[in-house]
Structure 1
Amino acid sequence: MQVEMAVGLLDHSAAMLEERQVTKAELRFLVARMREAMADVLRIAESRRL
């Protein structure tokens, strides 16, 4: 589930960055969610000793 969330955020961020009219609030929200996803993926990798 966490990896799928990270993939979705990457896709969403690519679309947002192409748009050119992204607000500061939207970028801050996206960065916060991406940080959460990265923390989840790192936790999974560490638990699997990857």
Structure 2
Amino acid sequence: MTVPNELRLLPWSGPDGKPCYLSTDDRDGYMSRLADSIESAQLGSAAELLERSSERLDHPDADLEEMRRLTRELADALRDVLRVAISRGDLLTARDPHRI
């Protein structure tokens, strides 16, 4: 069984947007692999969105509704990427507490 500081923040939210955590001794188990896969997809989507938004921002004819939609998508992607960064940082600290 893992100790509390070794809980993994999962890349999805639970009810009411609350964080979900995984407690396992098996870093190669099904849930760990699923979380890794979802994190990878989230990072890939964020990279594609960044490229698309950079291209769109270069066009002066973008309408307000399009920019609002793009801003919402960027905020969602940033939330996902931040959760991945926090989770991975926590994992590094749990594995090597002297690393900060």
Which TM-score applies when normalising by structure 2? 0.47
For residue 5 of structure 1, what is the aligned residue in structure 2?
Answer: 45
Superposition misfits of 4+ residues, deviation over 4 angstroms: none
RMSD: 1.2
- Structure with more contact order per residue of length (Cα contacts < 8 Å, sep ≥ 6): 1
Unaligned 5+ runs, structure 2: 1-40, 91-100
Q: Sequence identity of aligned pairs in percent?
A: 34
Letter in 1 for 2:46: A
For residue 66 of structure 2, what is the aligned residue in structure 1?
Answer: 26
CA distance in 2, matches of 1:11, 1:48: 24
CA distance in 2, matches of 1:8, 1:32: 15
Unaligned 5+ runs, structure 1: none
How much does 1:19 deviate? 1.6
- Higher Cα Rg, which structure: 2
Q: Which has the higher strand share?
A: 2
Report the number of matched residues. 50
CA distance in 1, matches of 2:58, 2:89: 36
For residue 46 of structure 1, what is the aligned residue in structure 2?
Answer: 86
